[in-house]
Structures are given as C-alpha cells and as structure tokens.
Structure 1
C-alpha cells in the first residue's frame, strides 16, 4: 500500500463545504507546469481519473484503476489513512481557526515551564521565518495550527533538544483530549539562522489512537506481518505493526519499502511518501510537486518488479493543490491504481 501524501485527482462532491471547489492537485499541477511525463503512472490508468496534461487515458493489461471518495468527515492525514484501514469517522477532528483556547495553552505552558509564541493558524515555513528569531532569543516554542486538526510545535534544534521537543509533544497529546482531541500533535524541528531557517527531517507525529481495530490489526491476527514506512507508525499510534521505520524523503521511503518487499513470508507493507505534501503542496510549489511525481514514476517499475506475486495499491489520503491560494489540504477524490 503506497500512499502518496496529498495525491488528489479532483474535488470531492462536498468540496465546496470545505472551501475546496475546483481543487485538483494532480490535474492543476500538470497544467501549471505544461504537462507531466509519467509513463508508469499513465500505464496504471492515472489518465482516466482526471484530466492531466501529458498523461493519456490508457492502462496496461494486468492493472486496475479508480477514484476514491472519502466517506469520513475531514481532509487530514489521519482521517484519510484510517479510512483506508477500515475506520470511518462520523465527526471531523476539531479545528482551531482562532488558535487554541486558554484551557489548552495554559496547562501546556505550566507543564513545560515557559510561554509559547504564535498560537495562530499559519504556514509552517512562514511562521518559523516570522517568529524564529524571537524563539532563538527567548527559548519559547512556536505553537501553531492550520486548516487541519493539528497542534504543531516548532523549535530550533540548538535551543530545544529533539528529545525535549518530543516530550513536549507527549505533554500536549495528554492535554488534548475530549473535545480538544486533535488528530495529531506534530514536532517540527528546524535549524539555520534568521532569513535561512530550514526544517529538519526529524518531524514526529503524535496521533490520537484509532477508535477500533484496523486492517493492520486484522493482518497481525491472521499472522501477516505489517511493516510501516514513513509516518505510518505515528498515524496509527504504533498499533498493528510488526516493525516500522521513519523515512527522510520519498526516495528513502521507496528504498525502505523495497527492503521490506524482499523479506520472506506474507506481509502488508504500508508506506507513506510525504514529500509531495510537506515540501510542495503546503508550500504552493507546483514545479516541485511535478518533479516529485516524475521522480516517483521513475521508481515505480522497481516496486512492481519486487512484488513477487503481490499487489501494489497506490493511492492518496487527501489533496493539497499547490496552485490555489490556500496552503492547507483540499477535500478531493484520490486515485486507486493497482498492479501485480
């Protein structure tokens, strides 16, 4: 199961209710750059799912294709992955368009022994650039949210050690319960100097646990190994996994996936490739997004060749159209491409 984070193929029927009418991550991205060159994805039937410049509507024998429409409320990573694994949410996770209320922020500040900066919805790169210098001077963590149900904590690695940042996230996770059960608390370490801050790859997500058994749990019950690559272990709160490993990039995630595919015995390899979303979708960078899609396409033949009688399912968890003014996720249909 290969989840290309934010691979949207056109607005969902209820997209207007989320402010996302007209979103089409792959289609709009292709138009913005003059077309995509993705022969492997084309052969899997991607061109049938939405109009993508440069991608013909065709499919090779032995493949299958379709579009998925999310039943759950919401358009976030946790909701999308949980639904793939059999959990449908009737209510979305809470959002905080005005920032987090005192009953959340004040106990968090008391627990970590310092006040926070920010506490507003923001783009991660923008708020780090805006408040990073003050964070360096004061040591106060940058707390922010977005259009998704997230409590994000950004800290410079020279000011707050990674393990301290992770502990602060665990503290926040313990506070964010009940009506404030956000989908994820996210550690956002960064480095560099004012004017040239850079995110570090040691991001960690602290998710609320799934409310019931998932496909991963059922696989383990059936003596099928489950290997998680990327942030899968975080999304499922480390449940239902035989083994899991973080990845540093899309290419690294594919390398790790290939390693698991070569192991003997029946297995589900569940991989999240996050670069599409985190590096390009949220940063409104269609050129970078297009390059990442084409790079993935170049590696798909390796993955298919390594299946050894298995099946590849390629999909997405939501959209994140880099051509719209918003930097948030978009409520879109997602692809289901299969080969093997």
Structure 2
C-alpha cells in the first residue's frame, strides 16, 4: 500500500484502535513554565503518591521506558513501541490535543476568560435563557456547585463558570432545567461564542438537594467549535472508511469526520463499548476517549482514584489485546496532563505517552520524542493511504 511521500507499507491494515487516556500526561513540556506547569508530571506523580502502581500490561508494552513510573519497571524487551509526544499547539485543552492527534495543529490558541466572560456574552445569555446567570467566574466543577448550587435551586438561574481552559460551562439541576433544555441553551450559546473563539460550551447537569450532596450526572455534553479544516477523520470518511467515536469524540470534532459514534458514561463503559466496536467496524478507526482520569480524578485532585483507574484500565487491556486480529493496530496516548498533585485543578501542559502494539510486531522499540501529536495522524494516513499535511509518520517502524 502506497502511503504519503512514497512510503510503502507491506502490511494490509484493517483497523486502528486509538485510545486517549484523557489527562494522563508524563511530564512537563519544554514550555511548561509559560503555563505555570513546570512541576507537573501526572502519571509519575500519581504512581509515587500511590506507593507504586500495578500496571503489568502497560509495563510489557514499554510504559516504564517512557518515564520512571513507581511500580512499573523499564522492561528489557518491551512488546510494544514506546515514546512520548509534545504538543505543537499552544494549549493544554482537550480540543486542541485531540485535533492535533487527528492532524490539525491549532496555530492560534483558543481564547480563555479566567476573569469571567464579557458583558456582551452574559447579556446574550440572559436574553436566550430569560434570566441572568449565576457565577461567571473561574472555578472547578465541584467548587461551583458547593458555592452556588443552593442559590440555583432557589432562583432557577443557571450557573455559568469557566477555568484556565477555553470553556463556557453551564451547570443546572436536572429538576430545574431538564437535560434537553440545557442542551438547547448550550447550542444557542455555542453560536454566540464562536466569534469569541471559545473552544467548548459544556452542559453540566447535576442532581442533589443541598451543598453537601450535589453530584454531576453522566449527562455532560460538549459543544465544540468545528475544526476549521479537514482532519485525518474527514480524509478517512471521504475514502469510505469507518470512523467510530467512543465517548466524547463526536463532541470534540463537532461531528466532522465521524461516521458512527456512541457516548460513554464512565471509563468502564467506554472500554466496554470499544471492545464492542471491534464487532461493528470492518475497516477504519475506532477512536476512544476515556474521560474519568481527567474529569473524576485529575480535576478533583483524587490521586488514589486516579491510580485505581489506571490499574482498572490495565486489567481491561490485558483482556482486550487478544481480541485484536492481524491487521489491527492499537495506539494508546493522551491529550494533555491533569496532575492532581500540583496546585490548582486545571489541565497541565505536559508531554503525553505513546504506546503502539499489534499482534505481528516482532520486537518492540523506541519511537523517541515526537515533535507533534500529529505524528499519530501522519502514521494512520500512511497506513490507510490517505493524506494529511502535518506530522511525521512512524509507519515504517510498525514492522
């Protein structure tokens, strides 16, 4: 099969499973200090604080050779290809990370509003919602419910909040503003915020009766800006290949280039649906986001929960690998960091792990430090005979 720039891949590839461990960074990028993240190193710090992690499957693939991870030795003969990747885009958010994995490097960062959104945006919200919002501050999702949840129940006013990331988040109790009404409000605000270059509008439904027991539900939905140019996903779709999104992948790409998708309510649900997708995709890409690392543990500074989630993924992976057939490729990576051991609750500017495996791989080895997440897109483009304009392919190292 001829790939980009004349590269010939002898193997006939059938499917790629690309799993993004949301927020599982492996150490600050060279420019991390510009973001205040010079001390961030999500996976190593979580492992250290947990007294070591038991990740035998990831260990065999070569995880311990990427960075030192307590409890995960650097095996002499890893079964997989391993490395780490730097993000070229000047950001540390979900959207820019995933877009770059798909070959679209964002030259202009999304706008952020850590001091709150402009008056014109809030006025537009009030006109659409029929009531002025509460909040309009930067806060974590759990903090904002403790701070304003009870006032929301009394007044019926939705809660608007943000973070250092480019997000406009709307929280509402499901008995005050039903999910579908919340989603409709988010869709309208998505159009309002496009000129402000805000990456995502996020619906955050919650339940509970008082500040001590408010909980966000699985009804979260992201309304992202559509990618401004075609990505690998579009090119694959144009060639009649399946692009199957699991979790929030469809939301991240605003549906562009996605031929089929399923939502997930948790990591375990996303893993189960990834396994199920093997029986539904004949040729193409299964693109999965496992969000709990970031949403439930990184942002909430839950180190132990983060560690347990990593071990649960590793145990699932041990049973998943045998389900992959000849012609299937597995790629495991992340989109940014979310170090629960450093100050603050936001994403961290980190390099991300890169683990690659297929059943015909004769020997593992290093993929080095990749200069862009887009190297993943370039590699998949070579495998499937489509074209992307960014990234450096490592398809010739797949064996």
Work out the CA distance in 1 between the residues paired with 2:69 and 2:202.
33
- Within 5 Å, give how 1:146-161 maps onto structure 2: 146-161=163-178
Partner of residue 258, structure 2: 241
Partner of residue 253, structure 1: 270
Q: Does 1:89 align with 2:124?
A: no
Q: Does 1:170 align with 2:187?
A: yes
Partner of residue 146, structure 2: 129
Q: Aligned to 1:75, what secondary structure does the other structure show?
A: coil
Work out the CA distance in 2 between the residues paired with 1:317 and 1:81.
6
Q: Does 1:291 align with 2:311?
A: no
TM-score norm. by structure 1 comes to: 0.98
Work out the CA distance in 1 between the residues paired with 2:350 and 2:130.
41
Work out the CA distance in 2 between the residues paired with 1:249 and 1:90.
32
Q: Does 1:68 align with 2:105?
A: no
Render the CA deviation track for 1:264-318: whole Å, top value 9, x for unaligned: 5212000000000000000011100000000000011222122212010000000
Q: Does 1:187 align with 2:187?
A: no
Partner of residue 123, structure 2: 106
Work out the CA distance in 1 between the residues paired with 2:107 and 2:257.
23
Structure number with greater Rg is: 2
Render the CA deviation track for 1:221-254: whole Å, top value 9, x for unaligned: 2221110000000000011111101001101101
Partner of residue 208, structure 1: 225
Q: Does 1:36 align with 2:53?
A: yes
Render the CA deviation track for 1:58-106: whole Å, top value 9, x for unaligned: 2655410000000011000000000000000112100111100101111
Q: Call closer, same or farther: CA 1:243–1:134 in 2, change over 3 Å.
A: same
Please say if residues 229 and 244 of structure 1, whose CA atoms lie closer than 8 Å, have aligned partners that are also in contact.
yes
Work out the CA distance in 2 between the residues paired with 1:284 and 1:50.
22
Q: Which moved more, 1:160-169 or 1:212-221?
A: 212-221
Q: Aligned to 1:176, what secondary structure does the other structure show?
A: helix
Render the CA deviation track for 1:100-119: whole Å, top value 9, x for unaligned: 01011111111110010000
Work out the CA distance in 1 between the residues paired with 2:182 and 2:91.
27
Please say if residues 94 and 336 of structure 2, whose CA atoms lie closer than 8 Å, have aligned partners that are also in contact.
yes
Partner of residue 314, structure 1: 332
Work out the CA distance in 1 between the residues paired with 2:134 and 2:76.
51
Q: Aligned to 1:148, what secondary structure does the other structure show?
A: coil
Work out the CA distance in 2 between the residues paired with 1:138 and 1:165.
16
Q: Aligned to 1:177, what secondary structure does the other structure show?
A: helix
What is the aligned residue count? Answer: 339
Structure 2, unmatched stretches of 5+, are: 1-17, 359-399
Please say if residues 62 and 78 of structure 2, whose CA atoms lie closer than 8 Å, have aligned partners that are also in contact.
no
Work out the CA distance in 2 between the residues paired with 1:109 and 1:265.
48
Work out the CA distance in 1 between the residues paired with 2:78 and 2:310.
22
Partner of residue 14, structure 2: none
Work out the CA distance in 1 between the residues paired with 2:315 and 2:85.
24
Work out the CA distance in 2 between the residues paired with 1:318 and 1:59.
28
